[in-house]
Amino acid sequence: MERPYVEKYRCTVCGYVYDPDAGDEDSGVSPGTVFADLPDDWECPVCGMGKDAFEKE
């Protein structure tokens, strides 16, 4: 069975790409967490910008 497409989001400041398949375990975000389900206070692990600095790829 094919997996549905998972949307990735890119930080417009530094270019970091949030990949739901990988999550952000250093920030306590488990693999499989979609961008919309990230905590409101989650920040880019590279530059520290908030979720509002990200755009869908």
- The full set of domains in the chain, from first to last, is 1-38+48-57 (2.20.28.10)
- Contact at 8 Å (CB) between 9 and 56? yes
Average pLDDT on 19-36 reads: 96
* pLDDT classification of 3: cutoffs 50, 70, 90: low
Mean pLDDT computed over every residue of the chain: 94
pLDDT of residue 22: 97
- Contact at 8 Å (CB) between 36 and 42? no
The strands making up 9-11's β-sheet, listed across from edge to edge, are: 17-18, 9-11, 54-56
Q: Is this structure's pTM higher than 0.85?
A: yes
Alpha-carbon span 20 to 51, nearest angstrom = 14
Alpha-carbon span 22 to 19, nearest angstrom = 5
Question: Which one-letter amino acid corresponds to residue 43?
Answer: E
